[in-house]
Amino acid sequence: MQSTSLMGLCVHDNNQTREKFQSDLPRQSSEQEASLPEPSKLQAATATLGHGASSSRFPYEGHIEFDEPVKDLLEEARCSWSFDVMQLQSASKGQALTALALTFFKDMGLVEALHLHPGKLKNFLGHMERGYINNPYHNSIHTALVLQSLHMLMTHGKVLASFDEASQPLILLTSYIAAIIHDFGHMGVNNNFLIHSMDELALLHNDHSPNENHHLAAAFKVLFHPRCNFMEQLPPEVVRLIRKLVISMVLKTDMSLHFATISSFKSLIRSRRFMEDGKVLPDAVDLVLQMLLKAADLTHTTIASSHHLCWVARLEEEMFRQGDREQRVGMPISPLMDRSQPGMSASQVGFFELVIIPLYEGLTYAFEDVNVMLNAAKDNHRLWVQGNQSVIAQQVAQLRASIPPTTHWSP
């Protein structure tokens, strides 16, 4: 491979490339090709990692049609910096992630431009959506919001236009995949819990970002399943580069790496290695994409205050449930996770000032149209600084009380 940059790769639509790619694929027997795998086969592919998808069939290859209320919400999702993803989740009967992904893939012409397999794309999205556990916060709804926010950054934030035009379809595909899989199979506990309890994920990944490594490994096992590999027509070197970038992006969502990533990005945008003639230079692509996913991952801090408080309540409840589990197994209860004490909602002022505002300031310095997110984050910061804290705490507590119990795994 001559280049490790998307800028240097060109997708050729010719028989020679397709034949070369097909020759690199492992051979399957006619019996394997003719029949669907048994449910346990796909489970086993991720169960070897400890946790994973539990989907049992492939019902997504046909046409997927959404009714008018869903279509109206999807139209709003195309242009909203404060999208109500909960409403879409309800209207789509639990398919917000699939609905948004199919919409964006279609709007941006990725299926045609990159010769993606539409049926296998639907299979992949269906398995992703069903493989997310219904944690209060780290669930498929959060992932749908992250995807929608990343799409807004690329389009209305005009970040996509800052990339070389020839590479833009691959940049988008890479970013969408990273958003869709970034919390896949999340168990509702943080990395410290996994490490200190010597969970199998921590053992498997040698205590290095066990959650993020698991999301990647489990999701890629699904993606490269023969019935879900919608990228099968792309040249192998392109697939390898997309995978490399996605891995880099998702690993940097580990909050223990947050400040180092922000520092690296600020150094980059002040250097000559960032842009030339208004276009992101090849060596800067990786870090820019990491920052975009981080910004999208924290987008609940940049939406309308009523939606923001809903997500704060969900995150606080998920953290309390980890504290409950720590107490049951005799571990020290982690900070802000003791249900009998003030939770993370009591520390939002510091969180905004140390984490959120600097993140969006850095991104806005590089891409000025992202200032919409920065201004919204400042509005929510003012809510925590100037609002009636007892009233806000009561609102958060009421929202937490309405969150259903987590299913699909047993503490």
On whether the CB atoms of residues 231 and 116 are closer than 8 A, the answer is yes
Within 108-209, where are the H helices?
Answer: 110-113, 118-131, 140-154, 168-181, 191-196, 200-204
- Ligand-binding site membership of 13 (annotated): no
Task: Confirm or deny that 140 is annotated as ligand binding.
Answer: yes
- The number of beta carbons lying within 10 Å of the beta carbon of residue 29 is 7
Q: Identify the residue whose tokens are 């230079």.
A: 281
Which of 127, 138, 300, 308 is catalytic? The answer is: 138
Confirm or deny that 182 is annotated as ligand binding: yes
Determine whether 138 is an active site residue: yes
Residue 280 parent element (H or E): strand 279-280
Q: Which residues contact 175 (CB under 8 A, 6 or more apart)?
A: 150, 154, 249, 289, 292, 293
Q: Spell out the residues 6+ positions from residue 253 whose beta carbon is closer than 8 angstroms to its own.
A: 182, 212, 293, 294, 297
254 phi/psi in degrees, rounded to 5: -65, 115
Which helix or strand (DSSP H or E) is residue 276 part of? strand 275-276
Tell me if 208 sits within 8 A of 223, measured CB to CB: no
141 carries a ligand binding annotation: yes
- Token pair listed for 2: 């001559």
- Give the H or E element holding residue 293: helix 285-297
275-276 and 279-280 as β-strands: parallel, antiparallel, unpaired? Answer: antiparallel
142 annotated ligand binder: yes
Six-digit token string for 309 = 């408080």
297 is in an annotated binding site: yes
* Binding-site sequence positions for Zn(2+): 142, 182-183, 297
* Binding-site sequence positions for AMP: 138-142, 183, 297, 348
* Binding-site sequence positions: 138-142, 182-183, 297, 348
Active-site residues, by number, are 138
